[in-house]
Structure 1
């Protein structure tokens, strides 16, 4: 290879300025330019509205897929502040939609992050051909428009307002997303998870893209993780040999709170869903602690009942997990996520906390419900014999 061909200097470096970087490399901010990326756009805008509800400042969030390919996200909170600085020192309206990472926040157990990497609505603006904001605050209605990362119109007073709230609408730029479309089912799946994991949350999702066949779901689950387990079981719930065990516990050792619900049913699969600060995880210390606790409680009960002798090994965790449906959710002040995709919980102290709580609650249930406990143990023993 010639020296001329291998020469490389500063003239070969391409520097992307401002929103040009987002539009040139959208996958770095929303994951893809397909359906997944469009979904993340919705989450980045809905993030603020969801947290308004969880903070007690709003009652519900309404999301609509419109007939012209846009998305509208509305809440009934106090309305985004229209000045340069918003409530609690946060960004005002224009900064929220035109300044990179203007919506960044400290996080913690009471904060739910929906977006890919917390890029915020400003990135949605950069990737949209048009974006509008309507704020109803202190009796006045304000409107402003944005496009492709910048402010398109000045903030304008548009009359009086009844009630308060914020409505954001955006239309993805076809130059970036092509013919990709939003998936109603995938959006509903994630918002349903959030409603199960946050009992105060109420979300509606409506699809008006086909006027002849509109779709709509309203998601609110006061039963929390208990309702989530019933949903995961579906028709298999009728064959469950036990009621759902569900509890919440705060544990200062892990600086957070856990919510756990589980039961065995007639199906052979194990369905254990875990979450950290309402974010889905594939594994981690909370899931390990749950399995530790279930295994310890079942093994101890079987020994007490003479079903296992002192010389017998304890039950295998995989065998105990057959037919087990569970939701394990922790909300921590200081979240430690591992793996390149940040979907493995790493907080070491969580494992012991969850294990002890699960072992205590399941152990108590086994003693208080001997007939159903016998059905669970018999199922496990018969499965072990088949092996």
Structure 2
């Protein structure tokens, strides 16, 4: 076999300096997932976070006030800041300029105990160099001491692109720099102006073809960072004109700037009405650890160093039961938590248990203990710590591993939260009492759900059942095919019993208007007979313990009268589902029946009259016009249904309950949220907004639509 010939190597291929550079970065290109997690859009965004975090670190150190991020139409992304600028002088041990060192050497940077950064997000010294290695082209511009310096790289190798007078592109001719420095003077900078600008094109050889920068993720990250670094301005500009984005038709820019810090962040994240104010828990602690430090001889020497850990927590409780927690280390999000979040939750549970025990005579918690989920229900918290060189589990920095941080956070939270909950100030004392009552109610709700576990599956004739006595159940055991009609009033129940198909349609009557769960506590909701009957009939629990798979019916249909009171009851029921059985709404299993508003009787000579049902005023007028045009005789007066009880069983079945003829409206999360907001406005405790709403909309009211 004839050996295959290879191209003769050029001199630049054997340049020692470049062989060393590529030897280190080639490992990144061979195993990119080890450094950025994946090569899809998630990994692409992680590269961008690495560059943005370098700029934010300058702001954390008090050296930068603004970061500008631009998504260009050619697929590149640019990040600029007004910080000190990457050092451009020569580092004596490597003989490389600071720019080349940072962007070509793994584990190189100013965050390894050199005193340049006391707390930073970039900690492994591989972020910028990894992005460089995975970029088809990367350009750096640095403003320092009145000069603008520039340097370019192709897949990690320094050199010069021949852009001519055209736009910069990775496809332009590239010449590696084989001697001297690739860092060149590109012009003069204004006096006093410093900063760094990085623009790069992700390498299509590395990333998947469908990987793209997410504008929404970028905006969310910029907004989050603006909360975490008060006073920092971040702007995001999208020039890509991608369909479905805010910049679809023109260049779009959003700017974020917040001075309120994490307290303002917690308020922004909170999904519900407040039970407490946003409390700020702050403190610090110190610890000692042994870390390898780069010595003068270039060797890593184990050295014992003292560390300071600053803790800053903002938290508040709301009327809901969902928990929203965000944790950060030096403004880097840790979505999977770590030692700081563990310490926070341990201390929080300890303090709450102690306070409930101290107020047991008033709260009456019984023999059951408060669990973590009880204390966290309805809580929104932002937990941040700052320390030098934290230890993360992996380059993606999703979990903090520094063990000493757990005890420091726990001590700070325990001390500060105890002070808040035992405060004698009137406002805090009232809020603390409400909070403890809410937590105990959550515990009782969890215990109640556990006790009702047996009602979460269907009962057969041989089993005892604790289902509500007024529930008229169906015979089918097929959950998917079964339906539960929640009927307004006993009068409608009698007709519905005759109209239903008993094989798969169950009925539950409710009397009048149920409890306003928007304002009531969990304990009040559970004590309410109508709410308890609905929860018990559905059989999947409520609140945090709700289990969608245990629901006894495939559809829950609200069937109320076609009048103002019926609409009010429907809104009250939707509020109950939205607050305490939200997964049922999210799964699209909650419906509203659509009973007719009018019945038109068409006279037929010699045979029975025909009936036409209409469901709106518009449809009524259209039908009347059509029938009269066709010369049909109509019997007066037209019947206007004001209640389900006015229909006989055949009419109710044909118009509202029979799957072959009825119309159902599926309730979505958007419907429930809008309904809850309107209900809060019209029936809540705040009078001023309601008065303003009534006055401003009075002129638009059609008085003919009011039943008199």
Whether the TM-score (by the shorter chain) exceeds 0.5 is: yes
Q: Describe the shift of the 1:273–1:90 C-alpha distance in structure 2 as closer, same or farther (beyond 3 A).
A: farther
Shift of 1:220: 3.0
1:325-364 equivalences under 5 Å are: 325-333=380-388, 335-337=390-392, 343-345=399-401, 346-347=403-404, 348-364=406-422
The offset of 1:90, in angstroms, is: 10
Which of 436, 439, 443 pairs up with 1:377? 436
Structure 1 residue 204 displacement after superposition: 1.9
Alignment of 1:128 onto 2:128: no
Alpha-carbon shift at residue 61 of structure 1 (Å)? 1.2
Flag the 1:192–1:94 CA change in 2: closer, same or farther, 3 A: same
Q: Pick one of 275, 278, 281 that aligns with 1:247.
A: 281
- What CA distance in whole angstroms lies between the structure 2 residues aligned with 1:288 and 1:22? 32
Unpaired segments of 5 or more residues in structure 1?
Answer: 1-15
Q: CA deviation at 1:314?
A: 4.8
Corresponding residue SS for 1:62? strand
Aligned CA distance change for structure 1 residues 148 and 240 (closer, same or farther; 3 Å): same
Equivalent position of 2:257 in the other structure: 220
Give the alignment of 1:307-318 within 5 angstroms. Answer: 307-308=362-363, 312=367, 314-318=369-373
1:155 matched to 2:183? The reply is yes
CA offsets 1:330-383 (integer angstroms, 9 cap, x no match)? 223463445997614432422541342343243245764333333223323333
1:137 and 2:136 matched: no
CA contact (8 A) 1:44 1:114 kept: yes
> SS at 2:55's partner residue?
helix
What CA distance in whole angstroms lies between the structure 2 residues aligned with 1:261 and 1:122?
35
Deviation digits for residues 4-34 of structure 1 (CA, Å, limit 9, x no counterpart): xxxxxxxxxxxx9343332222222222211
Assess, with a 3 A threshold, how the Cα gap between structure 1 residues 375 and 335 changes in structure 2: closer, same or farther: same
SS of structure 2 residue aligned to 1:259: strand
SS in 1 for 2:383: strand
In structure 2, what is the Cα distance between the partners aligned to 1:284 and 1:248? Answer: 19
Instruction: Tell me how far 1:178 sits from its aligned partner.
Output: 4.0
- Per the TM alignment, residue 67 of structure 1 is displaced from its structure 2 partner at its CA by 1.2
d(CA) in 2 for partners of 1:334, 1:159: 36
The CA deviation at 1:81 is 2.5
Structure number with greater CO (CA < 8 Å, separation at least 6) is 1
From 305, 321, 334, the equivalent of 2:376 is 321
Given that 1:285 and 1:350 are in contact with CA atoms closer than 8 Å, whether structure 2 keeps it comes out as no
Change (3 A) 1:114 1:228: farther
Matched residue SS, 1:318 = helix
The alignment partner of 1:37 has SS state of helix
Alignment of 1:261 with 2:268, yes or no, is no
Give the Cα–Cα distance (whole angstroms) in 2 for the partners of residues 226 and 384 of structure 1.
Answer: 27
Distance 1:216 1:377 in 2: 44
Q: Contact 2:349/2:372 (CA < 8 Å) preserved in 1?
A: yes
Q: Do 1:102 and 1:120's aligned partners in 2 also have CA atoms closer than 8 Å?
A: no
Q: Larger deviation: 141-150 or 95-104? A: 95-104
In the other structure, the counterpart of 1:176 is: 206
Q: Is structure 2 residue 120 aligned with structure 1 residue 112?
A: yes
Please list the CA deviations of residues 155-181 of structure 1 after superposition, one character each: whole Å capped at 9, or x if unmatched: 332332122222111111222224211
User: Per-residue displacement from partner, 1:277-335 (whole Å, max 9, x unpaired)?
Assistant: 33333344433433344334444444554324698555333212211111121223463
Count of residue correspondences = 366
For 1:30-179, list aligned pairs within 5 A.
Answer: 30-85=36-91, 92-103=98-109, 105-106=111-112, 110-113=118-121, 118-153=125-160, 154-162=182-190, 163-179=193-209
Structure with greater Cα Rg: 2
Query: Secondary structure of 2:362's match?
Result: coil
Q: Residue 288 and residue 141 in structure 1: after superposition, are their counterparts in 2 closer, same or farther (change >3 A)?
A: closer
Per the TM alignment, residue 243 of structure 1 is displaced from its structure 2 partner at its CA by 0.9
Match of 2:229 in 1: 198
Q: So what's the TM-score if we normalise by structure 1?
A: 0.82
Rounded Cα–Cα distance in structure 2 between residues aligned with 1:133 and 1:279: 23
Aligned partner of residue 341 in structure 2, secondary structure: helix
Distance 1:18 1:302 in 2: 57
CA contact (8 A) 2:365 2:440 kept: no
What SS does the aligned partner of 1:122 have?
helix
Mapped partners of 1:152, 1:384: distance in 2: 65
Single out whichever of 25-34 and 301-310 deviates more from structure 2: 301-310
Q: d(CA) in 2 for partners of 1:270 and 1:118?
A: 35
Describe the SS at the equivalent of 2:140. Answer: strand
Q: Does the CA contact (< 8 Å) of 1:301 and 1:366 recur in 2?
A: no
Match of 2:29 in 1: 23
- My pick for the range that moved more, 239-248 or 204-213, is 204-213
Q: How far is 1:200 from its partner? A: 4.6
2:284 and 2:408 in contact (8 A); partners too: no
Of 207, 213, 216, which aligns to 2:238?
207
Structure 1 window deviating more from structure 2 (152-161 vs 71-80): it is 152-161
Structure 1 pair 22/288, CA: closer, same or farther in 2 (3 Å)?
A: closer
Alignment check: 8 A CA contact 1:54 1:200 kept: no
Whether the 8 Å contact between 1:53 and 1:200 is mirrored in structure 2 is no
Is the 2:112–2:389 contact (alpha carbons within 8 Å) kept by the matching residues of 1?
Answer: no
Give SS of 1:152's match.
strand
Give the equivalent residue in structure 1 for 2:167. Answer: none
